[in-house]
Amino acid sequence: MENVEPSMEDEHFASTSVPVSQGDSLKGLLDWSIRYGWVIKFSNESTGEFSSLRTSAIGHKNVETVVDLEVHNAEETNDLYGDTNFTDMKFWDYGGEPVDIQWEGYVNPDTPFSGLDVMVYGDSHVELKTGRD
């Protein structure tokens, strides 16, 4: 597991990329422990490839949960992947009790892509619509 300790001015924490293809099933784990700090694991369940890191450079209070669709080298809507579903998401507090998540759908108004939208179906399911045919 890669240990990342950027300076406090650096807001970016990145591990190695995991290749994904349309239709792949992805899984992520974000966990806080006093011993290790944040432990983050991202895996492609379809291929078995994964990436992980840990850091204690940021705290564990007043954090927020975000689902995000990032693309690189895309110039038009048809360059995007299809709609992306985040499903079976589970959130617990320190005592192991479920946490109620209040998702806020947000699409950057300056995006060059058309048809982007966020559909919230509940705490455990969010769909990011790409507008791609």
- pLDDT for 57 beyond 80: no
Sheet holding 26-33, edge to edge: 2-3, 50-55, 37-44, 26-33
- pLDDT value for 12: 59
Q: Name residue, tokens 């360059």.
A: 79
Residues of the chain above pLDDT 90, percent: 17
3-class secondary structure, 109: coil
Report the chain's mean pLDDT, rounded to a whole number: 82
Rounded Cα distance, 79 and 95, in Å: 43
- pLDDT for 7 beyond 50: no
- pLDDT value for 14: 67
3-class secondary structure, 30: strand
- pLDDT for 10 beyond 60: no
**DSSP H or E segment with residue 27:** strand 26-33
Nearest 5°: phi and psi at 77?
-55, -40
Cβ contacts of residue 117 below 8 Å, gap of 6+?
A: 105, 107, 128, 129, 131
* Per-residue pLDDT tens digits for 70-123: 777 888 888 888 888 888 888 887 788 888 888 888 998 998 899 999 999 998
Provide the whole-model pTM. 0.71
- pLDDT for 46 beyond 90: yes
- pLDDT for 124 beyond 60: yes
